[in-house]
Amino acid sequence: MSAHASPIHHSEAPKGWIRHYIFSFDHKIIGTQYILLGLSAVTIGLILSLIFRTHLVWPDAHIWGFANGIVSPEDYLRLITMHGTLMVFFVLTTVPQSGFGNYFLPIQIGAPDMAFPTLNMLSFWTTLLALLVLLSSAFVPGGSAIGGWTAYAPLSAVGQIAGPGQGLGETLWVVSIALFCGGSLMSAINFLGTTIDLRTKGLSLMRMPLTVWGWFITACLALLAFGVLLAACILLLLDRLAQTSFFIPGNLDVSGVVLHHSGGSPLLWQHLFWFFGHPEVYIAILPAMGIISHVLSTFSRKPVFGYKAMVYSLTAIGFLSFAVWGHHMFISGMNPYSALAFSIITLVIGVPSAIKTFNWLGTLWGGKIHFTTAMLFAIGFVSLFVTGGLSGIFLAQPALDLYLHATYYVIGHFHLIMGVAAIFAMFAATYYWFPKMFGRMMNEGLGKLHFWITFIGVYCIFMPMHYLGYAGDARRYSSIESVNYMIPLHPVHFFITISAFVTAGAQLIFYFNFFWSMGHGKPAERNPWHATTLEWAVSTPVPHDNFAGDYPVIYRGPYEYSVPGAADDYIPQHLAPEQVAKAG
Partner 1 sequence: MLSRKSSTGSAAPAVLFVIVLLLLVGSTLYFHIAKTWWFPPSITPVGNQIDQQFFITFVLTGIVFVLAQVALAWMIFRYRDHGQKAKFVRGNHALEVIWTTITLVIFVGLGIMAARAWGEVHFGGPAPGALEVEVTGVQFQWNFRYPGPDGKFGRIVTKDIDASVGNPLGLDPNDPEAKLNPVSPDLYLPVNRPIELMLRSQDVIHSFFVRELRIKQDAVPGLVIPIHFEIDKTGDYEITCNQLCGLGHYHMHAMLHVMSQADFDQWEKKQWASLESGQ
Partner 2 sequence: MPPHVTVTDELEILGAHGGAKPPAGSGGGGGDDSRSSGSSGAFPQRIYVTGITIAMGAIFMFFMALVSAFIVRKGLGGDWFPFTMPRILWLDTAILLASSGTLIHARRLFKRGDRQGFRHWWAVTTLLGLLFLIGQLVAWRQMVAAGFYLASNASNSFFYVLTAAHGLHLLGGIAALLFVGWGRLRKMTLATGTEIVSYYWHFLDGLWVFLFLLLLLGR
Q: How far apart are CA 436 and CA 442, in angstroms?
A: 11
Q: Is 260 in the site for partner 1 (CB under 8 A)?
A: no
SS3 state at 374: helix
Closest CB to partner 1 among residues 14, 367: 367
Q: Tell me which residues in 335-394 interact with ligand HEM (CB under 6 A).
A: 346, 350, 353, 389, 392-393
SS3 state at 311: helix
Contact residue for partner 2 among 365, 403, 470, 515 (CB under 8 A): 365
Mark 318-337 with x for binding to ligand HEM (rule: CB under 6 A) and - for no binding. Answer: ---------xx---------
Q: Tell me which residues in 542-581 interact with ligand HEM (CB under 6 A).
A: none
| Beta bridge partners of residue 203, listed in sequence order | none
Task: Name the residue with the smallest CB distance to Cu ion.
Answer: 278
Contact residue for partner 2 among 27, 55, 240, 271 (CB under 8 A): 271
> Are 451 and 521 in contact, with CB atoms under 8 Å apart?
no
Q: Is 365 in the site for partner 1 (CB under 8 A)?
A: yes
Contact residue for partner 1 among 7, 65, 336, 577 (CB under 8 A): 336
Sequence letter at residue 333: G
> Are 289 and 314 in contact, with CB atoms under 8 Å apart?
yes
Sequence letter at residue 41: A
Closest CB to ligand HEM among residues 24, 270: 270
Contact residue for ligand HEM among 178, 198, 220, 285 (CB under 6 A): 285
Q: Is 84 in the site for partner 1 (CB under 8 A)?
A: no
Q: How far apart are CA 53 and CA 494, in angstroms?
A: 9
> Are 308 and 293 in contact, with CB atoms under 8 Å apart?
no
Q: Tell me which residues in 6-65 interact with partner 1 (CB under 8 A).
A: none
Q: First CA to last CA across the chain, in angstroms?
A: 23
> Are 152 and 77 in contact, with CB atoms under 8 Å apart?
no
Contact residue for partner 1 among 63, 119, 138, 456 (CB under 8 A): 456
Residue 5 binds what, of partner 1, partner 2, Cu ion, none (CB under 5 to 8 Å, by partner type)?
A: partner 2
Contact residue for partner 1 among 191, 305, 427, 514 (CB under 8 A): 305
From 142, 468, 87, 507, select the one nearest 284 (Cα to Cα): 87
SS3 state at 440: strand
Q: How far apart are CA 457 and CA 423, in angstroms?
A: 13
Residue 489 binds what, of ligand HEM, partner 2, partner 1, none (CB under 5 to 8 Å, by partner type)?
A: partner 1
Pairing verdict, β 3-5 and 550-552? antiparallel
Closest CB to partner 1 among residues 28, 261: 261
Contact residue for ligand HEM among 401, 473, 535, 545 (CB under 6 A): 401
Contact residue for partner 1 among 36, 205, 369, 487 (CB under 8 A): 369
- Which residues in 139-151 are b (16+ Cβ under 10 Å) and which e? eeebbbbbbbbbb
Among the listed ranges 42-50, 110-118, 131-139, 358-366, the one in contact with partner 1 (CB under 8 A) is 358-366
Q: Tell me which residues in 555-584 interact with partner 1 (CB under 8 A).
A: 561-564, 568-569
From 427, 436, 438, 429, select the one nearest 510 (Cα to Cα): 427
Closest CB to partner 2 among residues 4, 490: 4
Closest CB to partner 2 among residues 117, 457: 117
Closest CB to ligand HEM among residues 91, 109: 91
Mark 120-159 with x for binding to ligand HEM (rule: CB under 6 A) and - for no binding. Answer: ------------------------------x---------
Omega before residue 154 within 30° of 0, cis: yes
Shortest distance (Å) from residue 87 CB to ligand HEM? 10
Q: Is 78 in the site for ligand HEM (CB under 6 A)?
A: no
Q: Is 315 in the site for partner 1 (CB under 8 A)?
A: no
Q: Is 413 in the site for Cu ion (CB under 5 A)?
A: no
Distances (CA, A) of 508 to 415, 422, 517: 21, 19, 14
Q: Is 213 in the site for partner 2 (CB under 8 A)?
A: no
Report how far Cα 350 is from the mean position of its chain's Cα atoms.
19
Contact residue for partner 1 among 91, 284, 288, 375 (CB under 8 A): 375
From 198, 185, 199, 263, select the one nearest 229 (Cα to Cα): 185
Instruction: For 139-175, give the DSSP string.
Output: GSTT-S--STTTT-TTTTTS-GGG-TTTTHHHHHHHH
Q: How far apart are CA 56 and CA 480, in angstroms?
A: 8
Size of the site for ligand HEM (CB under 6 A): 22
| Beta bridge partners of residue 540, listed in sequence order | none
Pairing verdict, β 253-254 and 257-258? antiparallel
Closest CB to ligand HEM among residues 267, 553: 267
Residue 30 binds what, of ligand HEM, partner 1, partner 2, none (CB under 5 to 8 Å, by partner type)?
A: none
For 344, residues 6+ apart whose C-beta sits below 8 A from its C-beta are none
Contact residue for Cu ion among 278, 302, 405, 413 (CB under 5 A): 278
Strand segments, DSSP code E, in 207-285 are 253-254, 257-258
Instruction: For 518-570, give the DSSP string.
Output: HHHSPBP-SSTT---SGGGTS-SSPPTTSSTTEEE---S-S--BS-TTBSSSB
Shortest distance (Å) from residue 224 CB to partner 2? 5
Shortest distance (Å) from residue 223 CB to partner 2? 5
Residue 10 binds what, of partner 2, partner 1, Cu ion, none (CB under 5 to 8 Å, by partner type)?
A: partner 2
The vertex-349 CA angle with 348 and 353, nearest 5°, equals: 120
480 DSSP 8-state letter: S
- Interface residues with ligand HEM (CB under 6 A) are 150, 281, 284-285, 327-328, 346, 350, 353, 389, 392-393, 395-396, 401, 404-405, 410, 413-414, 417-418
Query: What are the residues binding partner 2 (CB under 8 A)?
Result: 2, 4-8, 10, 115-116, 185, 188-189, 192-194, 196-206, 223-228, 230-232, 234-235, 238, 242-246, 250, 262-265, 268, 271-272, 275, 365-366, 553-556, 560, 563-566, 571, 576-578, 580, 582
List residues binding Cu ion (CB under 5 A).
Answer: 278
